């Protein structure tokens, strides 16, 4: 590995024509990619490269820079366990602070030196003869013994299929691809979608636009946001007494985990949460018709529970309108709804979410038999412990299938997976294995476990269609149980579920 490559991405291996060979290649530099790299670097494993399509680290938190972007989980919990930050200015951080945290953490552990920016993975193919992944990127070719895909689930925006959207003469932008140079002041703005992004950006832009139309298909459940600035003396306390911050983190974790009881075990425990949400709506919206339009008809928790104190007042503001009629078409200067109303529009903001059940990265990774992950997953995403897939040796997925959580910190799940991958790599080293691959039996067992745990949960039985479920109605995205159970399952590599091939003799496979 030469330093020229790291400091000058333009001098890519492609220019020289020789692929760069590393032990571990990580796709993505968000929480997952950075965390993985840091885990490896901390134990001296430095033959690695991080492939990042953008020009900075941060992933989802770099890309989602729309006004009002913030995290729905307290920062004391939504951060790396090994890198506490005593200086969080608020209990719930906004996007710039989280992005700054990720940048600072990357710098602190020297991850940037391992990053190749502007390297979008266009394809990754398992070369069985060489026992390596051949990875092609927009910044050249790489060969890696181990490939870790940390590309994320909220990475690639979905664009709705609305007739005429292409013909719109004004600006169209996705919340995850916000154009900060476009001034919305005085414009007639349409926001399509009422999910987590929309309820954050609507109150942020409402005061400065001329008029705001929020196009809603299904209303979300919203509970109060208990956000507050962190007092300087508390920050000092965190600094002097790191154990205290750890304790706060643990309390937050436990309180949030209680939601799982209601969502995955006994739905009646969600009723008090529903009452809180209903009272929140009643307090903030007086207009009975608007209130009715904002009242969900499904069990709270079925879709992600959102937290906001300013979304309801924003849609009830004098210049705002909640449109529920459904969009029929977009015309060059307006949006037409199915009730025949045409609203002149200058800018359309698409807060329409991400490709979650159809991860684009899955189309680019081809395994042992040449089939892509997307092809293998055509009938639904399957894996062993959300991390490995049979037929894809030495591939590890972070934030893959059934690892998502809506109620607590995704970073907790990511760190669980990182420990698992790290243990797999150490096992390979200890046993002298060149190739490690999970078995179809293990995958089936894990799929059955997920299906059993998902049965009766609010996500399947709550009466809603959510992005948690794939097109067959199966839960392929969420971890349907307490998160500490996932951590326990991924603490160590389940060696019995893997077939290893020694480096010395790759022709004879070693089963556990």
Residues at the contact surface with another protein, assessed by CB under 8 A = 164, 188, 210-213, 286-289, 316-321, 328-329, 331, 334, 336, 338, 340-344
C-beta closer to another protein: residue 247 or 279: 279
C-beta closer to another protein: residue 169 or 341: 341
CB-CB contact of 190 with 331 (8 Å): no
CB-CB contact of 384 with 441 (8 Å): no
- Say how far apart CA 489 and CA 115 lie, in whole Å: 30
Q: How far is the CB of 469 from another protein (least distance, A)?
A: 29
Give residue for tokens 């979008």: 120
C-beta closer to another protein: residue 185 or 507: 185
The DSSP output letter for 159 is: -
C-beta closer to another protein: residue 243 or 340: 340
Q: How far is the CB of 320 from another protein (least distance, A)?
A: 7
Q: How far is the CB of 222 from another protein (least distance, A)?
A: 19
Q: How far is the CB of 186 from another protein (least distance, A)?
A: 12
Could you give the 3-state DSSP secondary structure of residue 418?
A: helix
C-beta closer to another protein: residue 55 or 287: 287
Q: How far is the CB of 294 from another protein (least distance, A)?
A: 14
CA dist list (Å): 296 to 225, 416, 503: 19, 34, 57
Query: Ramachandran region of residue 402, left (φ > 0), alpha (ψ -120 to 50) or beta?
Result: left
- Say how far apart CA 383 and CA 389 lie, in whole Å: 5
The first and second tokens of residue 277, run together, are 């949400």
Compute the C-alpha angle 383/389/392, nearest 5°: 170
| Backbone phi, psi, residue 320, to 5° | -115, 160
Q: How far is the CB of 308 from another protein (least distance, A)?
A: 18
- Say how far apart CA 217 and CA 207 lie, in whole Å: 23
Q: How far is the CB of 288 from another protein (least distance, A)?
A: 5
- Say how far apart CA 189 and CA 179 lie, in whole Å: 14
CA dist list (Å): 284 to 111, 196, 218, 320: 45, 18, 19, 15
C-beta closer to another protein: residue 39 or 214: 214
- Say how far apart CA 81 and CA 76 lie, in whole Å: 9
Give residue for tokens 């004098």: 318
Q: How far is the CB of 332 from another protein (least distance, A)?
A: 11
The first and second tokens of residue 475, run together, are 């839960």
- Sorted by sequence, the CB contacts under 8 Å of residue 54 that are 6+ apart come out as 62, 63, 117, 118
- Say how far apart CA 404 and CA 399 lie, in whole Å: 7
- Say how far apart CA 22 and CA 48 lie, in whole Å: 6
The pairing of beta strand 140-149 with beta strand 334-337: unpaired
Q: How far is the CB of 310 from another protein (least distance, A)?
A: 15
- Say how far apart CA 215 and CA 320 lie, in whole Å: 11
- Sorted by sequence, the CB contacts under 8 Å of residue 349 that are 6+ apart come out as 66, 173, 174, 175, 189, 190, 191, 192, 201, 205
- Best CA proximity match to 201, nearest among 211, 182, 214, 210: 214
Q: How far is the CB of 334 from another protein (least distance, A)?
A: 7
Q: How far is the CB of 161 from another protein (least distance, A)?
A: 16
Q: How far is the CB of 378 from another protein (least distance, A)?
A: 34
Could you give the 3-state DSSP secondary structure of residue 252?
A: helix
The first and second tokens of residue 311, run together, are 């979304």
Q: How far is the CB of 283 from another protein (least distance, A)?
A: 10
- DSSP E strands in 251-312: the ranges are 306-307
Could you give the 3-state DSSP secondary structure of residue 452?
A: helix
- Say how far apart CA 199 and CA 19 lie, in whole Å: 45
């Amino acid at each position: 590995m030469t330093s020229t490559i790291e400091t000058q991405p333009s001098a890519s291996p492609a220019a020289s024509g020789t692929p760069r060979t590393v032990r571990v290649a990580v796709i993505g530099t968000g929480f997952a990619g950075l965390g993985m790299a840091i885990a490896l670097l901390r134990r001296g494993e430095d033959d690695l490269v991080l492939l990042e399509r953008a020009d900075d680290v941060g992933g989802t938190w770099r890309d989602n820079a729309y006004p009002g972007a913030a995290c729905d989980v307290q920062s004391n919990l939504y951060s790396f366990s090994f890198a506490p930050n005593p200086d969080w200015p608020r209990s719930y951080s906004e996007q710039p602070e989280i992005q700054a945290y990720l940048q600072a953490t990357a710098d602190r552990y020297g991850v940037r030196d391992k990053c190749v920016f502007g390297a979008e993975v266009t394809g990754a193919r398992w070369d069985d003869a060489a026992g390596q992944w051949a990875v092609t990127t927009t910044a050249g070719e790489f060969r890696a013994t181990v490939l870790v895909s940390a590309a994320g689930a909220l990475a690639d925006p979905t664009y709705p299929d609305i007739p005429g959207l292409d013909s719109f003469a004004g600006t169209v932008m996705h919340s995850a691809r916000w154009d900060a140079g476009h001034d919305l002041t005085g414009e007639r703005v349409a926001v399509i979608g009422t999910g987590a992004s929309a309820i954050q950006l609507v109150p942020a832009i409402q005061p400065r636009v001329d008029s705001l139309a929020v196009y809603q298909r299904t209303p979300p459940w919203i509970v109060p946001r208990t956000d507050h600035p962190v007092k300087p003396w508390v920050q000092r306390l965190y600094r002097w007494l790191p154990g205290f911050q750890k304790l706060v983190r643990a309390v937050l974790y436990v309180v949030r985990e209680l939601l799982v009881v209601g969502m995955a075990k006994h739905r009646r425990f969600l009723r008090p949460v529903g009452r809180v949400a209903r009272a929140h709506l009643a307090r903030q919206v007086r207009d009975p018709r608007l209130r009715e339009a904002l009242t969900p008809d499904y069990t709270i928790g079925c879709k992600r529970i959102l937290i906001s104190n300013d979304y309801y007042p924003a849609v009830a503001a004098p210049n705002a309108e909640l449109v529920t009629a459904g969009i029929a078409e977009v015309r060059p200067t307006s949006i037409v709804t199915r009730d025949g109303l045409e609203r002149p529009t200058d800018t359309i903001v698409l807060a329409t979410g991400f490709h979650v059940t159809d991860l684009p990265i899955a189309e680019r990774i081809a395994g042992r038999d040449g089939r892509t992950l997307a092809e293998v997953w055509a009938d639904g995403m399957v894996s062993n412990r959300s991390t490995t897939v049979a037929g894809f040796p030495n591939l590890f997925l972070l934030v893959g299938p059934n690892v998502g959580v809506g109620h607590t910190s995704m970073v907790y799940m990511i760190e669980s997976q990182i420990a698992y991958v790290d243990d797999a790599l150490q096992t390979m080293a200890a046993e002298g294995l060149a190739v490690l691959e999970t078995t179809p039996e293990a995958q089936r067992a894990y799929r059955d476990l997920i299906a059993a745990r998902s049965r009766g949960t609010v996500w399947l039985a709550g009466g809603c269609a959510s992005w948690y479920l794939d097109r067959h109605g199966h839960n392929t995205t969420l971890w349907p149980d307490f998160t500490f159970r996932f951590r326990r399952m991924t603490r160590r590599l389940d060696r019995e579920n893997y077939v290893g091939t020694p480096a010395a003799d790759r022709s004879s496979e070693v089963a556990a």
